[in-house]
Structure 1
Amino acid sequence: MSPNSNPFLRGYQNLRIDRSLCITCEDDCPPVWRPLHPSQAHLTDDQVARFPCVFSNDFALITEGQDIPEDLEVQCQTEGVVRTVVYAVSGDDFGQPVHVGDTYSGEAAREVVRRLSFETGFYSRCWEISSAHLTADAGRFLAELADIATPSGFLFVAFRIPYSPAIGVKLIATPW
């Protein structure tokens, strides 16, 4: 079953949070966005924001109050100042990467992920429906719905079950 025909998928999948730094330089160039190097990932936002740094195309290193190995420092040819720390929430939308939004704290980003993960207590339920349970007219109606895009406003989705004559029905947002 392809991802586009999976009736159980809803919302964004594979949500993740990426911490990045908004860095400006003295020469009035546009800001750049870089992650901290893994060796400094333990630094808190307060130890990063508004501090001088050096950066490369791939990462940034805070210079004030930090010991930087020489092999890392030579990779970073540009100096700047971290203006703010941003937590980007990203995910997949039917297999396509998507940027969901930015927050200014890890806690806020985790809350966005929690809410988008449908941890609300309301879940969709699915049943397989065979001809033994329906009238012929009802079976034809569901089969027709399974073959088209479900009209908006319906509180269920009908779908074909691969390699089976049965039709599945997904109820949307059932509270039980």
Structure 2
Amino acid sequence: MDVLPSGIRDLTYAEALADPDFGGCVPRELVEGFAVREAHRGADSLFISFEQAVGNADYRELVLSASRAEPGDGERTVDVDAVESYDVHLYEIPWADSVPEKYMETFDHPLFRAEDLSPQVLARRVYDHRELGDEHVAADFSVLCKGGVTIRVMARNIDALALFDLLQSLPAVTAGQDAAG
């Protein structure tokens, strides 16, 4: 068993689901074929990761890290119409050399309002490492939920539509949205 920092404790999937502060950030059902790799609870955060073997050498991975929103998070959310501030397909790698300085913070750490999520928005964050000789696609972004919770999403080999569907299954993401989304 790993030694965890003080104040951090291991959780089971059931405990993560039942967490009074962050349980709404955990998928109600395990995504088919995925297994919980690890889950931890800190004083103000919950971390859970899932993985699925896809053949001998590759795998799919989903990491969700939920925490209380920071003061000012509402002001730093991404305007989804300003695609130049977060779209990984508009710039060449290494991004540090091609993304304009004025977009670097939102590009590196985009924070989307839950109600602004769509498959199209998420497709702008899924990038293909195969162009660099690696064999996977990946995504990294955060979601500001209505209840004052931020969820960081890191995914490997999961497409934008599957990510969108998964996020729409989280009560923390859909809270306060009408049936039309």
Structure with greater Cα Rg: 1
Q: Which structure shows the bigger proportion of residues in helix conformation?
A: 2
TM-score between both structures, scaled by the size of structure 1: 0.21
Q: Which structure shows the bigger proportion of residues in strand conformation?
A: 1
TM-score between both structures, scaled by the size of structure 2: 0.21
